[in-house]
């Protein structure tokens, strides 16, 4: 029986990976708490901390229980023209802890798409006020994801080369601090 890593290599491309030079992807078969286990039983401390795993640990029984119950009751419904209690409850809970100037939520399913949504909201705001804008301001060293808007507002990266001709119009500025803010504002207004 071939390993998961071997079967992966034969069939899958991974994000942000140069496949000719990269080692085989690690085949992970299970996880508990902060530990990942590979297919030969080796243990790794998961320092990546994707999603909620850093806060609650992998395979948290409470989260599993909630997910199983929800899947048995309502697995999916499109969010255009439909809604459901878990989304409404999450929005209510988040609004309680968000800054007071936040009064509505718009859900996204991943980081890159959240960036696209933010860009579209900003552009639409100015469009709706009859003064469309088409240049975005972004920090030089940021990383916001791999969709076109997200790549555009990220810092320049080796991964973006073939796509740069298609980017949105972006002015990049260093992260402002008390030493450089004057210069940044002067450059932007010139």
| Residues at the site binding ligand PLP, with contacts judged by CB under 6 A | 110-112, 115, 143-145
Q: In DSSP terms, which residues pair with 172 in a beta bridge?
A: 138
CA–CA dist 68, 190 (Å, integer): 57
User: Nearer Cβ to ligand PLP, position 37 or 143?
Assistant: 143
Residue 30: CB minimum distance to ligand PLP, A: 23
Q: How far apart (Å, rounded) are the C-alpha atoms in residues 153 and 164?
A: 11
Any residues with CB less than 8 A from the CB of 77 and at least 6 apart, and which?
A: 84
Q: How far is the CB of 112 from ligand PLP (least distance, A)?
A: 3
Of 27 and 111, nearer to ligand PLP (C-beta) is 111
Which among 22, 25, 15, 48 has a CA at the least distance from the CA of 150?
A: 15
Nearer to ligand PLP by Cβ, of 49 and 68: the residue is 49
Cβ of residue 105: shortest distance to ligand PLP, in angstroms?
Answer: 17
Phi and psi for 16 in degrees, rounded to 5?
Answer: 50, 45
Q: Which is nearer to ligand PLP, 110 or 124 (CB)?
A: 110
The residue sitting closest to ligand PLP, measured at its beta carbon, is 111
- Cβ of residue 190: shortest distance to ligand PLP, in angstroms? 30
Question: Token match 């806060």: residue?
Answer: 55
Q: How far is the CB of 135 from ligand PLP (least distance, A)?
A: 21
Cβ nearer to ligand PLP, comparing 58 with 149 = 149
Q: How far apart are CA 106 and CA 54, in angstroms?
A: 24
Residue 46 in contact with residue 58, Cβ under 8 Å?
Answer: yes
């Amino acid at each position: 029986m071939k390993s998961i890593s071997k079967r992966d290599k034969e069939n899958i491309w991974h994000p942000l990976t140069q496949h000719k030079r990269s080692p085989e992807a690690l085949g992970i078969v299970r996880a508990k708490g902060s530990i990942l286990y590979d297919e030969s039983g080796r243990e790794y401390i998961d320092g990546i901390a994707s999603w909620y795993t850093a806060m609650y640990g992998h395979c948290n029984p409470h989260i599993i229980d909630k997910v199983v119950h929800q899947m048995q009751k309502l697995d999916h419904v499109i969010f255009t023209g439909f809604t459901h209690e878990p989304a409404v409850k999450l929005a209510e809970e988040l609004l309680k802890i968000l800054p007071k100037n936040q009064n509505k939520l718009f859900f996204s399913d991943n980081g890159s798409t959240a960036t696209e949504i933010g860009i579209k909201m900003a552009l639409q705001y100015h469009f709706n006020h009859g003064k469309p804008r088409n240049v975005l301001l972004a920090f030089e060293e940021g990383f916001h994801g791999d969709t076109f808007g997200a790549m555009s507002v990220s810092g320049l990266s080796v991964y973006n080369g073939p796509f740069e001709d298609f980017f949105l119009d972006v002015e990049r500025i260093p992260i402002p601090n008390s030493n450089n803010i004057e210069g940044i504002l002067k450059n932007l207004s010139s």
